Amino acid sequence: MREIALHILDIFYNSLQADSSLIKISIAVDTKKDLMEIKIIDNGKGMKKEFVNNVLDPFTTTRSTRNVGLGLSLFKASTNRCEGDLTIWSKEKVGTIVKAWYKYSHIDRQPLGNMRDTVYIMILTLGENNLIYSIKKDDESFVLDTRKIREEMGDGSPLTSPEIMGEIKMLLEEEEKKINIS
Amino acid sequence: MKKTAADLEQIRKETLKNVELRTGKDGYKIIVGMATCGIAAGARDVFKEAIEKVIEKDLDSVTVGQMGCIGLCSMEPIVEVISPSGEKTRYIKVNKEKIDNIITSHIIDGNVVSEYTSES
Ligand SMILES: Nc1ncnc2c1ncn2[C@@H]1O[C@H](COP(=O)(O)OP(=O)(O)OP(=O)(O)O)[C@@H](O)[C@H]1O
Ligand SMILES: [Mg+2]
């Protein structure tokens, strides 16, 4: 993938596909530690122990249209090229945590890429489910919680109405100006 | 267990139901493949362009949604357009320019853009 943001979008769809009602995505850069860490946490159906142990093997997939699953193993491979790694914790009926990290200054690291469009599209495809997106670089941080947005609207209208999406886009643009992650 | 075509269609329908953006019941549906293969090939930008055009042109009855991998990974990004009467057209290797043309010709004017379909 050309951008880390595309891996994140892809892993987000694993969570959505696993019937999660709440998905938390966090990106954190610590320049002192020279570390970039990404977490995708969901409360979906989770995986059996034996399955988790093999899930980073591309031949482990529950998809029926082809017999290789690519998402997780591709993401892991990209971290491994940059002195990083990817780990998965999962428990049936509880949920799943995917944690990936990179050496921030590594020359082979893909750019984070366009998180603005990525989060925008996540929100458009969330349905009734919720997303907490947080991004942090050293002391600067930003959080977007769709549960709060729904609460503020108060009338149960969908997040996908053009007016609300317009506001969400503005928020994400402001965040991007403030927190500069390459 | 091997899944039959009918099983797959059912799974796809269920996925669709979950991700519909709008509630336009009698309009066209635009469905973008957003599995790993689709995303790697550029589906995010195609999806975004579809949404922006639908909003910009006030196509209130049009629904934009996503689907998983349908096993044609080398032809991604794949976009399926379902007409109000249920007819399905599959477009392959879609990019921003193609989705613009699909929306103008197919969705607005009702003419399938046959040079982008999987049959051509
Ligand atoms: N968050 C999750 N919750 C439950 N199961 C998951 C989760 N993420 C992955 N899985 C399981 O692990 C399998 C492998 O995931 P992976 O993303 O690597 O490939 P895939 O989704 O099957 O196919 P692809 O990503 O190539 O479209 C999935 O088929 C699914 O069964
Ligand atoms: Mg996947």
Digits of tens for pLDDT over chain A (182 positions)? 999 999 999 999 999 999 999 999 999 999 999 999 999 999 999 999 999 988 988 777 777 777 777 899 999 999 999 999 999 999 999 999 999 999 999 999 999 999 999 999 999 999 999 999 999 999 999 999 999 999 988 877 788 887 888 889 999 999 989 999 99
Beta-carbon separation of A65 and B69 below 8 A:
yes
Beta bridge partners of B77: none
Residue A45: CB partners within 8 Å, gap ≥ 6?
A18, A19, A92, A93
Q: Considering CB atoms only, which of B3, B37, B44 is closest to A118?
A: B44
Residue of A nearest to B52 (CA): A162
- Contact criterion met (CB below 8 Å) for A23 and A128: no
Q: Which residues of B touch A69 (CB under 8 A)?
A: 36
Domains and CATH numbers, chain A: 4-178 (3.30.565)
Among residues A65, A47, A64, A44, the alpha carbon closest in space to that of A56 is found at A47
| Residue pointed to by tokens 């019937």 | A19
Residue of B nearest to A11 (CA): B36
Give the C-alpha separation, A14 to A105, whole Å: 28
pLDDT tens sequence for chain B (120 residues): 445 555 555 555 455 443 444 444 569 999 999 999 999 999 999 999 999 999 889 898 899 999 999 999 999 999 999 999 999 999 999 999 999 999 999 999 999 999 999 875
Pick the CATH number of B24-116 from 3.30.390.30, 3.30.930.10, 3.40.30.10, 3.40.1010.10: 3.40.30.10
For A13-29, the three-class secondary structure string (H helix, E strand, C coil) is HHHHHCCCCEEEEEEEE
Single-letter code of the amino acid located at B63: T
Instruction: Give dist(CA B86, CA B96) in Å, integer.
Output: 25
Query: How far apart (Å, rounded) are the C-alpha atoms in residues B96 and A96?
Result: 34
**Ligand 1 pocket test: which of A22, A23, A55, A79 has the largest number of ligand atoms within 8 Å of its C-beta?**
A55
What is the number of the ligand 1 atom nearest to the C-alpha of A96?
A: 1
Token representation of residue A172: 């994400």
Residue B71, sorted as left (phi over 0), alpha (psi -120 to 50) or beta, turns out to be: left
**Does the complex come out with an ipTM higher than 0.95?**
no
